[in-house]
């Protein structure tokens, strides 16, 4: 639809609400999977291998789901069937995860859970491009960042809060009961939030539904989907290629934080050298609180992004935010006490708000609406490939380059974010010019 009606604040709120649930699931995973793996006997240097589930499933699932959702039209619409299926499977995995009795079981569940979260998440990105006109897309993606911040904050802090309220003890596997209850609550939150969006938001049907169905009926569905993905890669807009460099260094950096930050806090701030010690448990829970801080800052800062982008430009905002995130991770080296960590995490939260919105705003303005789903899926390749590279590279350099020290891994992540900030300068923001043209026309 060329001339899309302007949506109200609460309509955009409803269409984005499902991201609260998605990020509740991601947040529990990011803050707790490394400790869970350690409780189940994983070798620290090999943690990145166990985290490969996320990037590899994203690499396979998101482009395919994006292309499939472009070609789908049902009673629930184009994107919403994928929201629903992914949410149901992910919620089941969240309940099963803390009940893992062996390392292989936790790793297997992570693969299934990541695949299902990807099935839900990719169409949500395309949803904004489908529903909103160019001048409202910044608000649409920022609203997603807002809910991502809320969901992650609640997920990260929940095990610590449950411990404060007297939930103690551990299961036979060594996993605390506070983690078990947090994952069950997360499963319920995930499903409820996605259902809210499914039942409060409709979708625009194809303009010529008969032509749409006829086109999709031609040839093999599988062949057509892979043909569409290959064509999208071949015809990739210049802006998307430039953003790929920014995304590479951004998403090469973030796994270092997710995989090693909690262990860094436990070791270097709380002095918990042994996984079974009280100091290690307290330190990893405090690492979850620090993750909650950066996500709290994310959703508080999210709505400052649109007016800031109007003043300094969308690229300027992203440069500033990524730089603050890089410096925030590097500042972990100077942490003399647990509360000092919150300063660095505030910088990470500002970066996270921009990472979750600005690249997608810039990208959406550079691609054709009818290919929004497949391009959002292909764009995910520039998120998952750097994570795959990081996962294979880190075990090779963990002892020799990083000195067997999780703190050095976190600092390397900070340096990579600073490189990403510098790479933003080469990006051409095509959609920004379109927005300016719209604003000028409205003024006249």
SS3 170: strand
**What is the spatial distance between Cα 400 and Cα 381, in angstroms, rounded to a whole number?**
29
The domain limits of the chain are 9-443
**What is the spatial distance between Cα 191 and Cα 104, in angstroms, rounded to a whole number?**
26
Question: Nearest 10 degrees: CA dihedral of 295, 300, 301, 302?
Answer: 80
**What is the spatial distance between Cα 82 and Cα 343, in angstroms, rounded to a whole number?**
38
Is the pLDDT score of 184 beyond 60?
yes
Is the pLDDT score of 162 beyond 80?
yes
75: Cα within 13 Å, side-chain hemisphere: 1
**pLDDT at site 331:** 94
CB 285 within 8 A of CB 160: yes
**pLDDT at site 407:** 92
Average pLDDT score, the chain: 82
Q: End-to-end distance of the chain based on CA atoms, in angstroms? A: 24
107-124: pLDDT as tens digits: 888 888 888 888 887 777
Binned at pLDDT 50, 70 and 90, residue 252 comes out as: very high
Please tell me the least confidently modeled range out of 194-208, 212-226, 312-326.
212-226
Is the pLDDT score of 174 beyond 60?
yes
CATH fold of 9-443 reads Growth Hormone; Chain: A; (1.20.1250)
60: which 2 tokens? 């396979």
146: which 2 tokens? 């807002």
314-353: pLDDT as tens digits: 889 999 999 999 999 999 999 888 999 999 999 999 999 8
């Amino acid at each position: 639809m060329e001339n899309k009606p302007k949506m109200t604040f609460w309509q955009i709120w409803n269409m984005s609400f499902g991201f609260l649930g998605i990020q509740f699931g991601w947040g529990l995973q990011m803050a707790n999977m490394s400790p869970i793996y350690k409780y189940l006997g994983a070798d620290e240097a090999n943690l990145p291998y166990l985290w490969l589930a996320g990037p590899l499933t994203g690499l396979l699932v998101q482009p395919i789901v994006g292309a499939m959702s472009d070609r789908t039209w049902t009673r629930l619409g184009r994107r919403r069937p994928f929201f629903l299926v992914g949410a149901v499977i992910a919620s089941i995995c969240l309940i099963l995860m803390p009940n893992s009795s062996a390392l292989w079981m936790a790793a297997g569940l992570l693969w299934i859970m990541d695949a299902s979260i990807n099935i839900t998440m990719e169409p949500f990105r395309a949803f904004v491009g489908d529903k909103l006109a160019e001048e409202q897309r910044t608000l649409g993606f920022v609203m997603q960042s807002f809910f991502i911040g809320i969901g992650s904050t609640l997920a990260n802090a929940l095990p610590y809060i449950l411990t404060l309220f007297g939930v103690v003890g551990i299961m036979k596997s060594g996993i605390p009961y506070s983690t078990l209850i947090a994952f069950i609550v997360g499963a319920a939150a995930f499903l409820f939030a996605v259902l809210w969006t499914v039942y409060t938001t409709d979708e625009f049907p194809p303009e010529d539904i008969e032509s749409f169905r006829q086109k999709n009926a031609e040839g093999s569905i599988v062949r057509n989907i892979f043909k569409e993905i290959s064509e999208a890669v071949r015809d990739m807009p210049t802006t998307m290629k430039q953003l790929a460099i920014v995304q590479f260094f951004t998403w090469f950096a973030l796994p270092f934080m997710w995989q090693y930050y909690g262990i860094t806090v436990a070791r270097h701030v709380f002095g918990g050298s042994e996984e079974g010690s009280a100091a290690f448990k307290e330190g990893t829970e405090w690492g979850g609180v620090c993750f909650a801080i950066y996500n709290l800052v994310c959703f508080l800062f999210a709505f400052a992004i649109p007016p800031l982008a109007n003043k300094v430009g969308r690229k300027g905002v992203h440069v500033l935010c990524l730089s603050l995130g890089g410096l925030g991770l590097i500042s972990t080296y100077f942490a003399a006490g647990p509360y000092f960590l919150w300063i660095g995490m505030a910088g990470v939260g500002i970066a996270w708000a921009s990472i979750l919105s600005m690249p997608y705003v810039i990208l959406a303005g550079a691609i054709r609406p009818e290919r929004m789903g497949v391009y959002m899926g292909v764009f995910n390749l520039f998120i998952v490939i750097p994570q795959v590279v990081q996962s294979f590279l880190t075990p090779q350099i963990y002892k020799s380059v990083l000195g067997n020290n999780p703190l050095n891994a976190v600092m390397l992540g900070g340096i990579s974010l600073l490189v990403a900030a510098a790479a933003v300068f080469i990006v051409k923001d095509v959609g920004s010019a379109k927005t300016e043209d719209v604003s000028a026309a409205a003024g006249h």
